[in-house]
Amino acid sequence: MKVKGKYMKSILSVAMLAVALCGCTGKDDTLKMITEATFPPYEFLRGQEIVGIDVEICRAVAQRLNRPFKAETVDFDSVIPAVISGKADLAAAGITITEDRKKNVDFSIPYVKTGIVVISKKSNLFQTTDQLKGKKIGVQSGTTSENYVLEQLQQEPERSKSPAEAVAALKAGRVAFVIADIDPAKNCVKGDDELALSDFITSEEYAVAIRKGQPELLAAINATIAELKANGTLAKWIADFTAESDSLKDK
């Protein structure tokens, strides 16, 4: 049935009023977190669900802002570009604060101090950084481990999509050593009698990254992190998700 003239205008007016009254504007107010879910205990998969320390921090930010929350996983080197482009509101994936990254995103206050370590075979135990020079070094692409090989060793690393993939290359003899963040490194070597971890070779801090020029969002993230630290919740999440990710390694 066709509707003409003033009758059509009346129908459209009523429809627009109904949308305004019910708030059904189609706008998605979800706070979207982007991560890379192969980095336990900070983010990993529990079945199909993305869980971990970073996920809970970002969920707490969404609760503070009274917004729905959603987490998505991508390759690590796509995490920061996702917030720069506006495809995500915040990025949390064990992201180390660096001067180079500060040029492109704003960082929250740090929520943990950490560092990178060397994973080696006990038959070729790492002892000094001189052992790394000129050798094939496995790293996760887009990480500070990659930067360390490029900048400190001044050589090209062997890039993988995850620390676990890099360690698989080590065990297969395709690389001599692997450099990775301490937490996933611990998870990779747990229960493996062939592998060993070094002490820290750098000192780093993790933070949440967002697109530049969003002072209100940054303030909410900082307030959330400060509160989680002060009330002991962050420490509990670290303990709980470390235990859970360790148990998954045992299975």
Contact 152/116 with Cβ under 8 angstroms?
no
* Beta-carbon-side half-sphere exposure of residue 134 (alpha carbons within 13 Å): 2
CATH of domain 31-113+205-250: 3.40.190.10
Task: Evaluate if pTM is beyond 0.85.
Answer: no
Handedness of CA 221, 222, 225, 231 (dihedral sign): negative
pLDDT in tens, 193-236: 999 999 999 999 999 999 999 999 999 999 999 999 999 999 99
In this predicted model, what pLDDT tens digit does every residue of 97-128 receive, in sequence order? 999 999 999 999 999 999 999 999 999 999 99
Q: What's the farthest any 2 CA atoms get from each other in the chain?
A: 86
Q: What is the pLDDT of residue 251?
A: 54
Give the C-alpha separation, 140 to 159, whole Å.
6
Nearest 5 degrees, angle CA 119-CA 123-CA 126?
A: 40
Comparing 31-113+205-250 with 116-202, is the CATH topology the same? Answer: yes
108/87 Cα distance (integer angstroms): 19
- For residue 104, the tally of other CB atoms under 10 A from its CB is 13
What does the domain layout of the chain look like in residue ranges? Answer: 31-113+205-250, 116-202
The domain 116-202 is placed in CATH, from the list 1.10.3720.10, 3.90.1170.40, 3.40.190.10, 3.90.180.10, at 3.40.190.10
pLDDT at 57: 98
Q: What is the pLDDT of residue 26?
A: 52
